[in-house]
Amino acid sequence: MAKILVVDDEVGIRELLQEILRDEGYDVAQAENAASAREARQNFQPDLILLDIWMPDTDGISLLKEWAAGGPLDAPVIMMSGHGSIDTAIEAVRFGALDFLEKPIALQKLLATVKRGLQRQTNKPRQHPLSLSAFRSAALRDLRKRLEQMAQKCRQILLRTGPGSLAELCARSLHASGTPWLDLGNLHQPLDLGTLEDAKGGLLFVEELQRLGRAQQKNLAFALERLERYDLHLLMATTSTPEQLLTEGWEPGLIARLFDISLVSPSLLELKDEVPEIVSRLLIHFSESGETPSRRLGSAALHALRNTPWGGGFGELKAAIRSLALGALNEEISADEVVRFVSRNANAALALPLDLPLREARESFERMYFEHHLQLEDGNITRLAEKTGLERTHLYRKLKQLGIQVGRRQGDA
């Protein structure tokens, strides 16, 4: 059943259009303004949008421009207006609208335009929901453009990244819909020609070179020699330098080939502002694929996730969101659930060695304790003082003593 979003500030028009379209067998959702339209577009994932131009907070043309700035529209947009003009229609089409309907809208024209829009959407190849092209972030769009530009000339790309790798997101962006996907890091038996034949035209993926054993390194070398023959692309990632891999026993010739074409990629630690959008996409993906029930996150929960240092990268974040979605008792995952989950994982990761002298062990614990809560509070000293029960002057002195650098935020002085 095709999903249609109707965006109009007049409740009568919204309900009339919803009734007509539901009678035609469509699943219809309503939005009364730009804010609710943004939320519905993300959560409802419509196949087509009917968008009114004249709305009180943000007009339809501005909203269309906003969506178009995030990359190709993932659903056709049909503009509606009772005060239309040729110039307005031309502007709407220039920014990606499929068509323009004048109010009052004739029933037959409405249905014909909707049908045409949905046919176009059906014929359009669907992107993987975790592709970089699905995001509005300028940083992620730039990364996608660099990857696609390199992939046009090269069959292998190595991402050189720090902790917090976005390797899978990058690989999903290069992976053509409907073609094979082969994770060489999960392949433990020897790679043969039959396996490559089955993967023909697809993408080979290695999330982290450093994790490959000797047999998997041989598989990688075997695949490198045959990328052209089997029309394959290979995307790899590593936090290691060539020298580090060499000391771990990798063949020098293989290392030279792997680092021949590389791209310095930002990590999730550098892109913390993009975490809320990535998390929202993950929840939609898990729900639509049937892996988890439908879940959503409130602003406080998203804030906690944003301020968590995801050193394990996209894989760690994806596992955390899947676990939270499966374990949540309500449709909205609470901030308390997020903080409890993140803190428990952080505490496990920050286990102290027990052979330190007492004073050093205490200082190590205090340093990790304050760094953890400073991260969760986004560097806000006032909130950190309230949480830890310390007076701010004493807190500053303690942080300085532990070697923790903080900048005084506006409002903290």
Burial 18-55 (b: 16+ CB within 10 A, else e): bebbeeeebebbbbbbbeebbebbeebbbbbbbbbbbb
Half-sphere exposure of 229 (CA within 13 A, CB side): 10
For residue 375, give the nearest of 283, 279, 275, 295 by alpha carbon.
Answer: 275
pLDDT of residue 412: 47
pLDDT beyond 70 at 410: no
Backbone dihedral angles phi then psi of residue 238, each to the nearest 5 degrees: -160, 150
Give the pLDDT mean for 328-343. 85
Give the pLDDT mean for 311-329. 89
Which residue has 């009917």 as its token pair? 50
What are 264's strand-pairing partners? 160
Which residue has 């074409």 as its token pair? 261
pLDDT of residue 156: 96
pLDDT beyond 70 at 4: yes
Half-sphere exposure of 254 (CA within 13 A, CB side): 19
Give the pLDDT mean for 258-274. 90
pLDDT of residue 354: 57
Cβ neighbours of residue 159 closer than 8 Å, sequence gap 6 or more: 165, 166, 167, 170, 235, 236, 237, 238, 262, 263, 265
For residue 51, give the nearest of 43, 36, 42 by alpha carbon.
Answer: 36
Strand order in 156-160's β-sheet?
181-183, 203-206, 233-238, 156-160, 262-264
Question: Exposed, middle or buried by CB within 10 Å (0-12, 13-18, 19+), for 175?
Answer: buried
Burial 275-297 (b: 16+ CB within 10 A, else e): bbbbbbbbbbbbbeeeebeebbb
pLDDT beyond 80 at 128: no
Give the pLDDT mean for 325-338. 89
Please name the fold of domain 3-123.
Rossmann fold (3.40.50)
Q: What percent of the chain shows pLDDT beyond 90?
A: 39
Residue type, position 60, single letter: G
Domain boundaries, the chain: 3-123, 132-264, 272-349
For the chain, the average pLDDT equals: 85
What are 236's strand-pairing partners? 158, 206
pLDDT digits (tens, 9 = 90+) for 173-225: 898 877 899 999 988 899 999 999 999 999 999 999 988 999 999 999 999 99
* Reported CATH class of domain 272-349: mainly alpha
Please name the fold of domain 132-264.
Rossmann fold (3.40.50)
C-alpha to C-alpha distance for 363 and 403, rounded to whole angstroms: 10
pLDDT of residue 258: 95
CA dihedral 117, 118, 121, 122 (to 10 degrees): -140
pLDDT digits (tens, 9 = 90+) for 288-315: 778 899 898 888 889 889 888 888 889 8
Instruction: Say whether 132-264 and 3-123 share the same fold.
Output: yes
For residue 298, give the nearest of 270, 276, 320 by alpha carbon.
Answer: 276
Could you tell me the sign of the dihedral formed by the alpha carbons of 83, 88, 92, 95, in that order?
negative
